[in-house]
Structures are given as C-alpha cells and as structure tokens.
Amino acid sequence: MLNSQTQDLNLTCKQFLEQTPQQRLLVLKEIGLARYADFLTKMPLTPSNVACVMRFFKEPSEVKFPNLKNADLSGLNLNGVNFIRGDLSGTNLRGSSLLEADLLFANFTAADLRDADLRGATLNKTIWSNALVDRANFGDGIGLTNQQNQDLKIRGARFSHD
C-alpha cells in the first residue's frame, strides 16, 4: 500500500497533468523546473506520465537530467528539446518531432521511436539497445558512430545520405 505522502504526490502530479500548458508552466516556474517546460507542459495524462512527473516533483532541486523512463511522449512536437543525459529507456516517442534536439548521452534503450523525426538532432554518445526505429528519420545522423548508423539502418531507420 502506498503511504499517504506518495498518494498525495500521485494526486498532485495527476492534477498537474490535467492543467493547461500555461497553468503547468506557472507551476514549473514556482518549483524551479521551468527548464523542463518543453516537454512537461505537453505530456498527456497517462499513468506512466504521472509516475514520470512524480520523479521530477519528488525532489525538484535534485533534478539534474531528465528521467523520462517509460513516459508517453508520442506524437509530440519536441523540436529543440534538451534531453542531454536523459533516461528515455522504454519511452514512447512514436511519431514525435525532435528536430534539432540536444540528445547527447541520452539512453533510448527499448524506446519506441518509430516514425519519429530526429533530423538535425545531436546524437553523440547515445544508447539505442532494442530501440524501435522503423521509419524514424535521422537526417544526417549527427554524432552517431558508423556502427550505430549501420545498426539503426538495419532496424529500419532512415538517413538523408541513403
């Protein structure tokens, strides 16, 4: 059974995700997490996103890198987002636009990036183990190693130099 503090945080995060993007931004500014507004204001209300927001709200002053493990960010416009050192393992990014996003050192293990657009994104030191990348557009694949490039192509990723 969840303790009352966890239940309260769960309710708070659910209520946060029920708000408009503008209302969410005000909350994020109040608690010092406005730097994550690019995605926290756009996330749909789902159980996995409530759990994700709980990780941010539990200790806002301790958040250094985005932990979006198992979040649902499918179909969102995340152009230019900063997910540097982000844990996106198991995250649903299917059909999302990540044009020119900063994804240095991001972990995409078992993430769903099918039909995602990553053109112009910085992909240095990223992890792609078991990621679903069919029809994902990587553009030039900025920062990917030759091995990563070949592996992603085999799994259906598209590159502009093909």
From first to last of its 162 residues, the chain has per-residue pLDDT tens of 345 677 899 999 999 999 999 999 999 999 999 999 999 999 999 999 999 999 999 999 889 999 999 999 999 999 999 999 999 999 999 999 999 999 999 999 999 999 999 999 999 999 999 999 999 999 999 999 999 999 999 999 999 975
Q: Where are the domains of the chain?
A: 1-63, 64-162
Q: Looking at domain 64-162, what is its CATH homologous superfamily?
A: E3 ubiquitin-protein ligase SopA (2.160.20.80)
Residue by residue, what is the 3-state secondary structure of the chain?
A: CCCHHHHHHHHHHHHHHHCCHHHHHHHHHHCCCHHHHHHHCCCCCCHHHHHHHHHHHHCHHHCCCCECCCCECCCCECCCCECCCCECCCCECCCCECCCCECCCCECCCCECCCCECCCCECCCCECCCCECCCCECCCCCCCCHHHHHHHHHCCCECCCC
